[in-house]
Structure 1
Amino acid sequence: MQLRWEAGAGSIQINGTEYQLKQCHWHSPSEHTLNGKRFDMEVHLVHESMDNRTAVLGIMYKIGRPDSFLSMMKQHLEAIVDTHNVERSVGVIDPKLLKLGSRKYYRYIGSLTVPPCTQDISWTIVRKVRTVTREQVKLIREAVHDEAATNARPVQPINQRSVKLYRPRD
């Protein structure tokens, strides 16, 4: 289950390359960890460059207060719970409503987390862990329709990858 933007949803720039936002999707539990801790959910915002390179921005969530973006999307998510292989138009959704919560982030080069696990993906993981309710995680899991206990890849070894923390200069 994913939310797809057809055109003009914004972009990010990494090392001089512009990546256009294409879609976002959720995993539960998170596929990344911070200091060895796995969280309740993670959203991936998938971007592509003109030369077909991929950059993914990840935001992790722990159980707590409702996430405003998922609250706004609730009726659309509920509408697809009992459907399979159906596209549903949700109108214009501003991706900026997916709050980052922090300008600090980690960055590394890795692979996609779903087959074919394409390599050389630029990953940006927001340092601040956002909050989501148990009900919101449950709704995402019901909308995914995979009938598994999780839809997340097991945590992978770091394999000598360099993970850097970036802090904005004010």
Structure 2
Amino acid sequence: MNMKCIHSYEGRTTFFILLISSLCCLFPIAIASFEEVEDETPFAYTEERGKGPKEWGQLDPHWKLCDTGKLQSPIDLLSGKRQVLPSLGKLKKNYKPAPAVAKNRGHDIMVRWEGDAGKMSINGTDYKLLECHWHSPSEHTFNGTRYQLELHMVHVSAHGELAVVAIVYKYGRPDSFLTRLFRRMKTMEHDEKTLGIFNPGDIKFGSRKYFRYIGSLTVPPCTEGVVWTIINKVRTVSRDQVKALRDAVHDGYETNVRPTQSLDGKRVLFYTPRVNSGSS
């Protein structure tokens, strides 16, 4: 099932493309400040533990953006206005196999590439692929609909700017990338497991259509200036695969999803190839 953009707005496309570029330039933050918290102990996803999402901004002075930020993620992608921009351009990705490790961070399962795993390009800027990880259920929603799983592919530019590609999944056929991961990992209880050469190109996008907006990390420190690209296609994952991801994380983190944040005037762009291109 594909998600379809509801509203179409024409004209001034160049302005909005420049807007994305200029917003990226406003956040030349060092790579270290973009890093997600590795140890989940300081925060939780359930409010009854006293460390839930509503309290993240008070738990550490470096996390205040979780409360005060105006570009926070995730969001509902079909709320408010969207600009449909065919001129936004096709996703330019060039991934390649590289040495990788899988790490159980307690609050999620991550695959981190230790070699050059390739890149994607946005508005002429190259972003190197660093890692991917999973949230269950999905963090981004679509008219309030939350899917069973969301994959985040985290990239960073030479100037420390972050770009994340997100793919959402519903129950159905097994996901081939997770199948390959589980073959390499007999158990996901280990803190870290060497995977050998692992190909990020095995992650299937399934559509050239995508949403884009400027947001934040979805875990502390909730750093802003993240260029989000959410693929329009809903892919499939098996119930057993989702269960394996949930069983592997620490107790209390089986549902590792931050609530959707206010749009606060965020401009959501939607790319679709022109009708005569024959692309999906």
TM-score with structure 2 setting the length:
0.57
Q: Which runs of 5+ in 1 are unaligned?
A: none
Task: Tell me which of 179, 197, 205 is aligned to 1:92.
Answer: 197
- Structure 1 residue 165 and structure 2 residue 280: aligned? no
Q: Write the distance in 2 (CA, Å) between the matches of 1:93 and 1:36.
A: 35
Q: Write the distance in 2 (CA, Å) between the matches of 1:135 and 1:78.
A: 14
What letter corresponds to residue 237 of structure 2 in structure 1? V
- 2:185·2:193 contact (CA, 8 Å) conserved in 1? no
Q: Which runs of 5+ in 2 are unaligned?
A: 1-108
Q: Write the distance in 1 (CA, Å) between the matches of 2:265 and 2:249.
A: 33
Alignment correspondent of 1:57:
165
Distance verdict in 2 for CA 1:76–1:157, change over 3 Å: farther
**Higher relative strand content:** 1
What letter corresponds to residue 155 of structure 2 in structure 1? H
Q: Write the distance in 2 (CA, Å) between the matches of 1:6 and 1:168.
A: 34
- 1:78·1:139 contact (CA, 8 Å) conserved in 2? no
Q: How far does residue 77 in structure 1 lie from its aligned partner after superposition?
A: 4.4
Q: How far does residue 80 in structure 1 lie from its aligned partner after superposition?
A: 2.2
- Structure 1 residue 110 and structure 2 residue 218: aligned? no
Moved over 4 A (4+): none
Alignment of 1:143-162 (within 5 A): 143-162=248-267
Q: How far does residue 147 in structure 1 lie from its aligned partner after superposition?
A: 3.1
- Identity across matched positions, percent: 53
Higher relative contact order (CA 8 A, sep 6+): 2
Q: Write the distance in 2 (CA, Å) between the matches of 1:54 and 1:6.
A: 17
Does the residue aligned with 2:192 lie in a helix, a strand or coil?
coil
Alignment correspondent of 1:122:
227
Task: Tell me which of 136, 147, 170 is aligned to 1:28.
Answer: 136
**Higher relative helix content:** 2
TM-score with structure 1 setting the length:
0.92
Give CA deviations for 1:92-113 in whole Å, capped at 9, x if unaligned.
Answer: 1110101001011000000000
Q: How far does residue 50 in structure 1 lie from its aligned partner after superposition?
A: 0.4
CA RMSD of aligned residues (A): 1.4
Give CA deviations for 1:15-45 in whole Å, capped at 9, x if unaligned.
Answer: 1110000000000010101232111100000
What letter corresponds to residue 257 of structure 2 in structure 1? A
Alignment of 1:61-72 (within 5 A): 61-72=169-180
Give CA deviations for 1:109-142 in whole Å, capped at 9, x if unaligned.
Answer: 0000010000010000000010011110011112
Q: Write the distance in 2 (CA, Å) between the matches of 1:116 and 1:56.
A: 16
Q: How far does residue 9 in structure 1 lie from its aligned partner after superposition?
A: 0.7
Distance verdict in 2 for CA 1:75–1:142, change over 3 Å: farther
Does the residue aligned with 1:69 lie in a helix, a strand or coil?
helix
Q: How far does residue 144 in structure 1 lie from its aligned partner after superposition?
A: 2.5
What letter corresponds to residue 256 of structure 2 in structure 1? N
Name the count of aligned residue pairs: 167
